[in-house]
Structure formats: structure tokens, C-alpha cells
């Protein structure tokens, strides 16, 4: 409460009720997903048929559990592979962008900064489609001119990585720029005065300063990539990542194995969130 | 200004490559393809036919307007629901409960949109939780399908975008000094007066950036309208997907993509203009 401002008791109660309702609204769909992952029924629906762990450990179809579902496990592997690459590439690009926009003054800087923000206002589907169109056209052109097919320009993991890097780089850049602005350049100058080469000064003074931010930006980009759907949908080849595989099953109508996948995703996301928050706390301390 | 050294150009290169190859060229390429005549026999020629198709076919046009309209509605609804909660977190909750509330709002969104949508599907579908509960309490006799209508699409859109409204609102409201609100009451302002004259003007940058992000996410959303809305959801991104993936009519799909991009840019631009904000100020924080 802002202590000096009166608020009548019924009004206060009403407000608290609203907050409670809001929290229930947030948690409800997730709780439902968790609950039905233990339901001993072939459909994620009522009635409740009793508790089971089959949707995690079941070995036989139709009660094939997550840990024995080869297709789902494979798609998790695909997603992790893509997310890892996206994280590495986006972080490297973002670090360059941060240094560029914080350390240097140059003509057209404001304009380039706005261009850097562009991916945030391009719908993910359009981003995916535009990359699909241009890479395919380029590949077609090369094939016609040199009779050589550049396979990675066709829909597949590489294109997905490129499509996701296009917008995740912007998000990482914003995070790193905000942190780098707080860096006192005299620290690096001190290192230079003490005889360090610019490269050594950067690695021993600036990078440690940025380390916690790099870790949390990395976690965010990994998750964003892992969970991306819109851009990925347009660029997917034969090796579908998890979100696409789940989407296809959802449309066909699936067993509660999708619930158990979701629960695993929740656990991993929560774990990564905790790691990221701890790192941010360290940074503030 | 000192002369820009080699370091500057080394940092400019990755930035320029990323922006050109992944953002600018693909979109220019898509624009070019959208102006091509679709034909297997005649050589390449330019035409506005793909855009004319859009205006001549009521289905395309109606879907477009409907998507824009529903996205605006979803944005306003999200703002209305999120604002009291953000105000509570920023101004009324203190210490531990504040951190916990903010975490509670953020955590569900570390999870894939797919999982959240899946949760709502389990609740709303004909054999779902809501239908079952209503039947259990004797309010209805037969199961009712709550999925596949506009209200459920709206629910899904609002839920999906909630975080992106809450976070900018909280950070904008937190910077508002309590004493300003107190002064408003001391000068005899009612709740409504203080809200309109002090709180909302101060929160404007947060409101604008939240609205822009939520609008973009809704407009470009494919997953939620498709899963919750079913076959008749009539979302424009589905038209784009159909043209590209199902009909393989890339010329028409590109034209649709460009139109969606124009619409989103226009509305973002109008939002910034009306509120006197700039893209760098609202997004690049």
C-alpha cells in the first residue's frame, strides 16, 4: 500500500480478489496440463481414470510413454541442436552490436539502431517466409547456373537457425547494450595503461564484467529458440523440432504423452529460470 | 570525433551481414516475388495481379480486416486486464510478495506457447474440464464445445500476450514517485482523476511498448488461432501458410506477406505517432 493514501476496506478486498483471480487465470492451463499427464486414459480429457506414470515410462503402444517415444525424443534432440547454434551465433552477433553501439560514435548511428530494432516489429511468420523465399531463389539460381544444389539453403535445420538468429540477435543485443552502458571505460583504460594489449584488456576486464549478462542472455535465447513456433513452421524440413512435432500430433488428436512432454518442458524452463535469476542477483550484488 | 579505426569496421561487418542477409534482402526479395506474374510458360514479367487478387476475393480481404480488428481488440483487452495487476505489483505490493507476484506473472511465459494453448484446449474442448464441471454441477446436460469460436481465440490471444504487457507496465509504473500520487489526492483529486492525470500519462511509454508488442504478437500469431479457433478461425497468417506450403503459390503468398507487414508497420507507426513516442525509446530500453 502507499501508506498515506486511504483505500476503503471493501475496495481493498475487491482489489485482492482481482489479483487472486488473475493468478488463477495464469496458473490454470498449466495445472491442467500437469494433472492430466497422470490420468490413466487414452485421451487428455475427463473422466479421471486413475493415476498412472505410463505417459512417462510406458513402453507399449497405445500407452507409449515419453521416454520410449522415439519420434518425440528425436525432435527434442533436433530442437536442442538448433537452439544451441542459435544461442552461440546470436550471442556472438549481439556482443559485436553492443560494442558497436556503446563504444563508437558514427554517422547514421541512430538510424542503424532503429534498423537493429526492426526484427521486433516483423511478425515471425513473415520473417520465416521471407527467408524461405530468398534462400530458395538463391539456391535455384545457383543450381541453374552451376548445376550444384546447396542443400542447406533448402528448408531444414540450417534455415531454422538462420531464421531464429534474425530476431533473437536483436533481443540479445538490447540486453548486452543495456549492461555495457553501465561499464566504466576507465577500467579498461587502466588495464591499457598497465601495459595490456587492447585484446587482453577486453578479455580480462570487459568480458568478466559482462559474463553474468551473457549467461542470462544465452539462457533466454536458448529457450526462445527451443520454443519458437511461427518462424520455424515456415522453414521446417524433414527433421522437425519439438514444437512442430507436438503441433502435428495436437492436430491429429494425441494421447496424454503430450502432457508429459509439456511437464518436462516446464521442469527444464523452471530450472533455467532459476539459474538465470540467481545470476542476475549476483550481478546486482 | 576521433577517426574510426579498424576495430569499428570489424564490428560493423557482422552487424551489416546480419541485417542485410537475414532481414533486408529477404524482405526486398519477397517484395520482388510478390510482383511477379505466376506462370510456368511465359518468361518472368511484372504485374500487380497478386495484389488485385487480394482486393477481388472477399475471403482474403475479410480475413485481413478481421485479423487486424481482433488483434486490436486483444491488445486493448490485455491492457485493461494487465493494468490493475501491474499497478498492484509496482505500487501496492511490497518486498517479498512483490517479487513473488512478479515471478508468478513471468514464469508461465518461460514455457512454450504451444503448452499454454494445449492447456486451454484441455479445459475448453467438448470433452474438457469446463464442460465436465458444468455437467457435474447440473448446470448443463450435454457436453458443450467451448473451443472453435471467437471468444476462445480472444482468450488464447490475451493469455499468450499477457506477460509482454505486464512487464513494460510494471517498469513504467515503478519509476513513478509515490509522492506524485499523494500530491494528486492532496489536491482533492478522485481516484479517477489521479489515474487519468498522473498515473496514465506517466505510464504512457510502458503502455505504448506493451501495446505494440502485444499487437504484433497477435497479428503474427499462427498457433493460437489455428489450434483454438480450428478450421474457421480465418486468421491472415493461415492464408499466408496456405499459399506458401499447401498451394505452393509463392507469388500470392509473398503479396499477402507484404500486405501484413504494411499493416503492422502502419499500426505501429500510428501508435507511436499518437502517443508521441519513438521506436528507440519504447523498444530499445
Domain extents in chain B: 50-283
pLDDT tens for residues B63-112? 999 999 999 999 999 999 999 999 998 888 887 888 888 888 888 877 88
Q: Which of A96, A104, A119 sits opposite B23 (nearest CB)?
A: A119
A279 in contact with chain B, both atoms CB, cutoff 8 A: no
Bridge-based pairing state of the strands A63-64 and A59-60: antiparallel
What value of ipTM does the predicted structure carry?
A: 0.85
CB B153 within 8 A of CB B237: no
Q: Is A226 on the interface with B (CB under 8 A)?
A: yes
Q: Assign A13 to helix, strand or coil.
A: helix
The grid coordinates listed for B63 are 480475413
Contact B15 A227 (CB under 8 A): no
Measure the CA–CA gap between A123 and B217, rounded to whole angstroms: 7
Length of chain A as a residue count: 285
Secondary structure of residue B2 in the 3-state scheme: coil
pLDDT (tens, 9 = 90+) of chain B, 285 residues, equals 456 778 888 888 999 999 999 999 999 999 998 998 877 666 777 888 889 888 888 889 999 999 999 999 999 999 999 999 999 988 888 878 888 888 888 888 778 888 899 999 988 888 788 888 888 887 877 777 888 888 899 999 999 888 889 988 998 888 888 888 888 888 877 778 888 878 888 888 889 888 988 998 899 889 999 989 887 788 999 999 989 888 888 889 999 999 999 998 888 888 888 777 777 766 654
Q: Which residue of B has its CA nearest to A97?
A: B15
- Find all residues with CB under 8 Å of B184, minimum gap 6, and list them: B193, B194, B197, B198
Q: CB contact, 8 Å: A79 with chain B?
A: no
The SS3 call for residue B47 is: coil
Specify the pLDDT at position A3. 56
Cβ neighbourhood burial of B246 (10 Å; 0-12, 13-18, 19+): exposed
The alpha carbon of residue A104 and the mean position of all alpha carbons in its chain are separated, in whole angstroms, by 29
Mean pLDDT for all residues in chain A: 86
| pLDDT the model gives residue B285 | 47
Mutate to test the interface with A, among B24, B122, B214 (most CBs of A within 10 A): B122
pLDDT along chain A (285 residues), means of 10: 66 89 91 86 74 76 76 90 96 93 88 90 90 91 86 87 94 91 87 86 88 90 90 89 90 83 88 81 64
For B161, which residue in chain A has the nearest alpha carbon?
A26
DSSP-derived 3-state class of residue B46: strand
CATH 1.10.3720.10 fits B50-283, yes or no: yes
Cross-strand pairs, A39: A51
CB count within 10 Å of CB A240 equals 20
Cell 524482405 belongs to which residue?
A: B27
CB-CB under 8 Å, B223 with A100: no
**Contacts (Cβ under 8 Å, ≥6 apart) of A19:** B85, B88, B101
What's the burial of A138, exposed, middle or buried (CB within 10 Å: 0-12/13-18/19+)? middle
Sign for the CA dihedral angle at B84, B87, B92, B97 comes to positive
Residues of chain B neighbouring A98 (CB-CB closer than 8 A): none
CATH architecture label of A85-284: Orthogonal Bundle (1.10)
For testing contact with chain A, the best of B3, B7, B14, B272 (most A CBs within 10 A): B14
Alpha-carbon distance of A130 to A115, in angstroms, equals 17
Amino acid at each position: 500500500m502507499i501508506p498515506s493514501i486511504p483505500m476503503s476496506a471493501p475496495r481493498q478486498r475487491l482489489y485482492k480478489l482481482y489479483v487472486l483471480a488473475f493468478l488463477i487465470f495464469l496458473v490454470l492451463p498449466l495445472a491442467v496440463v500437469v494433472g492430466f499427464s497422470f490420468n490413466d486414459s487414452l485421451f487428455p480429457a475427463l473422466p479421471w481414470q486413475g493415476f498412472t506414470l505410463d505417459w512417462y515410462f510406458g513402453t507399449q503402444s497405445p500407452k507409449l510413454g515419453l521416454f520410449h517415444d522415439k519420434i518425440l525424443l528425436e525432435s527434442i534432440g533436433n530442437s536442442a541442436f538448433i537452439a544451441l547454434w542459435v544461442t552461440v551465433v546470436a550471442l556472438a552477433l549481439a556482443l559485436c552490436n553492443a560494442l558497436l553501439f556503446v563504444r563508437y560514435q558514427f554517422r547514421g548511428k541512430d538510424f542503424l539502431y532503429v534498423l537493429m530494432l526492426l526484427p521486433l516489429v516483423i511478425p515471425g511468420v513473415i520473417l520465416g517466409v521471407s527467408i524461405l523465399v530468398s534462400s530458395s531463389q538463391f539456391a535455384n539460381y545457383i543450381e541453374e547456373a552451376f548445376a550444384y544444389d546447396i542443400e542447406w539453403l533448402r528448408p531444414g535445420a540450417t534455415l531454422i537457425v538462420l531464421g531464429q538468429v534474425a530476431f533473437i540477435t536483436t533481443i540479445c543485443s538490447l540486453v548486452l547494450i543495456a549492461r555495457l552502458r553501465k561499464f566504466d571505460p576507465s577500467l579498461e583504460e587502466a588495464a591499457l595503461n598497465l601495459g595490456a594489449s587492447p585484446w587482453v584488456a577486453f578479455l580480462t576486464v570487459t568480458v568478466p564484467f559482462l559474463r553474468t549478462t551473457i549467461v542470462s542472455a544465452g539462457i533466454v535465447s536458448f529457450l526462445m529458440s527451443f520454443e519458437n513456433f511461427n518462424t520455424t513452421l515456415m522453414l521446417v524440413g524433414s527433421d522437425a523440432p519439438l514444437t512442430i512435432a507436438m503441433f502435428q500430433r495436437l492436430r491429429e488428436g494425441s494421447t496424454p504423452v503430450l502432457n508429459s512432454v509439456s511437464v518436462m518442458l516446464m521442469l527444464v524452463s523452471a530450472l533455467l529460470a532459476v539459474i538465470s535469476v540467481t545470476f542476475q542477483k549476483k550481478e546486482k550484488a | 570525433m576521433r577517426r574510426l579505426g579498424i576495430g569499428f569496421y570489424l564490428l560493423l561487418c557482422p552487424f551489416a551481414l546480419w541485417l542485410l542477409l537475414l532481414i533486408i534482402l529477404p524482405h526486398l526479395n519477397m517484395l520482388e516475388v510478390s510482383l511477379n506474374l505466376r506462370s510456368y510458360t511465359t518468361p518472368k514479367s511484372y504485374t500487380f495481379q497478386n495484389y488485385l487478387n487480394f482486393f477481388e476475393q472477399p475471403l482474403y480481404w475479410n480475413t485481413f480486416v478481421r485479423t487486424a480488428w481482433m488483434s486490436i481488440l486483444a491488445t486493448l483487452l490485455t491492457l485493461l486486464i494487465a493494468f490493475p495487476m501491474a499497478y498492484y505489483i509496482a505500487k501496492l505490493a511490497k518486498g517479498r510478495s512483490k517479487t513473488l507476484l512478479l515471478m508468478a506473472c513471468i514464469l508461465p511465459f518461460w514455457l512454450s506457447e504451444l503448452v499454454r494453448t494445449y492447456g486451454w484446449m484441455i479445459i475448453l474442448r467438448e470433452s474438457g474440464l469446463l464442460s465436465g464441471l458444468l455437467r457435474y454441477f447440473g448446470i448443463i446436460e450435454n457436453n458443450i464445445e467451448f473451443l472453435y469460436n471467437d471468444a476462445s481465440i480472444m482468450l488464447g490471444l490475451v493469455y499468450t500476450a499477457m506477460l509482454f504487457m505486464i512487464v513494460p507496465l510494471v517498469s513504467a509504473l515503478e519509476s513513478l514517485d509515490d509522492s506524485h500520487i499523494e500530491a494528486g489526492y492532496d489536491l482533492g483529486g478522485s481516484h479517477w482523476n489521479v489515474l487519468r492525470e498522473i498515473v496514465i500519462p506517466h505510464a504512457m511509454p510502458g503502455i505504448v511498448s506493451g501495446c505494440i508488442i502485444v499487437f504484433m504478437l497477435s497479428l503474427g500469431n499462427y498457433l493460437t488461432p489455428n489450434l483454438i479457433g480450428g478450421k474457421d478461425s480465418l486468421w491472415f497468417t493461415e492464408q499466408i501458410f496456405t499459399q506458401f506450403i499447401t498451394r505452393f503459390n509463392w507469388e500470392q503468398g509473398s503479396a499477402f506477406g507484404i500486405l501484413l507487414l504494411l499493416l503492422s508497420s502502419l499500426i505501429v507507426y500510428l501508435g507511436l505517432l499518437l502517443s508521441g513516442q519513438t521506436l528507440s525509446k519504447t523498444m530499445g530500453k
